[in-house]
């Protein structure tokens, strides 16, 4: 059973997300919060596998992300946002978020995202991925520091990292590159170790900053 916290200052938004998630027999909403303080406390008071945090909630969603990451190591955080907040998206992903979803994500996609996040896979809405790519395009060429971090990767690892940067799952990457899922997992483990990324989503951001996505 995947234990979920929903944190949003809008009661109707929390109710809607709960209603969607309760349709999945492997997901259980164990807590709700209306601000950052309550979200952090909820993750400390009980086991939470996935915390869905509104980035704009009172007390600052990114601050809550940092506290949960620091004190609740077993909790993966997925941020919820409205469209068009590219700099904030990038800041949250660099801070250790395991994913980013738009608030208008469809019911099936939301349930799938929770399951993927619980399995350790990156969860990036396609629109969010495009926002990050467009942001990098507006702010100039590939980041030199990011390019140095990927300099020692093998060609195969670069291919996997590039597709990881587009938000694809292990299975989708394996299909694109004609590899087994086990080989993809091994490449990702090596990529994280070589680049110093804490998780797959930080690796996806690194791929974008290093210019691997074009």
On the 0-12 / 13-18 / 19+ scale of CB atoms within 10 A, 192 is: middle
pLDDT in tens, the chain (214 residues): 999 999 999 999 999 999 999 999 999 999 999 999 999 999 999 999 999 999 889 999 989 999 998 888 889 999 988 755 566 777 777 777 888 888 888 999 999 999 989 988 778 776 666 666 555 555 555 577 888 899 999 999 999 999 988 878 888 999 999 999 999 999 999 999 999 987 777 788 788 788 887 6
Burial letters 74-102, b for 16+ CB under 10 A, else e: ebbbbbbbeeebbebbbebbebbbbbbbb
On the 0-12 / 13-18 / 19+ scale of CB atoms within 10 A, 107 is: middle
φ, ψ of residue 59 to 5 degrees: the values are 95, -10
Domains of the chain: 2-133 (3.40.50.2300), 141-209 (1.10.10.10)
**HSE-CB of 66 using CA atoms within 13 angstroms:** 9
Please give the helix or strand (H or E) that residue 121 lies within, else none.
none
> What's the whole-model pTM score?
0.73
φ, ψ of residue 213 to 5 degrees: the values are -95, 10
Please give the helix or strand (H or E) that residue 102 lies within, else none.
strand 99-102
């Amino acid at each position: 059973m995947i234990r979920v916290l929903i944190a949003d200052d809008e009661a109707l938004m929390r109710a809607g997300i709960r209603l969607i998630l309760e349709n999945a027999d492997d997901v259980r909403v164990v807590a709700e919060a209306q601000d950052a303080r309550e979200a952090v406390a909820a993750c400390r008071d009980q086991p939470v596998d996935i915390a869905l945090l509104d980035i704009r909630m009172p007390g600052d969603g990114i601050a809550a992300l940092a506290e949960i990451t620091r004190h609740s190591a077993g909790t993966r955080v997925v941020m919820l946002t409205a469209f068009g907040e590219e700099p904030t998206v990038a800041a949250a992903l660099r801070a250790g978020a395991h994913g980013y979803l738009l608030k208008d994500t469809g019911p099936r996609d939301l349930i799938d995202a929770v399951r993927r996040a619980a399995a350790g896979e990156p969860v990036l809405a396609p629109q969010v991925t495009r926002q990050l790519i467009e942001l990098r395009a507006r702010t100039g060429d590939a980041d030199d520091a990011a390019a140095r971090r990927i300099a020692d990767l093998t060609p195969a690892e670069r291919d996997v990292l590039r597709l990881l940067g587009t938000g694809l799952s292990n299975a989708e990457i394996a299909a694109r590159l004609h590899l087994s899922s086990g080989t993809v997992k091994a490449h990702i483990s090596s990529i994280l170790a070589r680049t110093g990324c804490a998780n797959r989503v930080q690796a996806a951001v690194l791929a974008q900053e290093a210019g691997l996505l074009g």
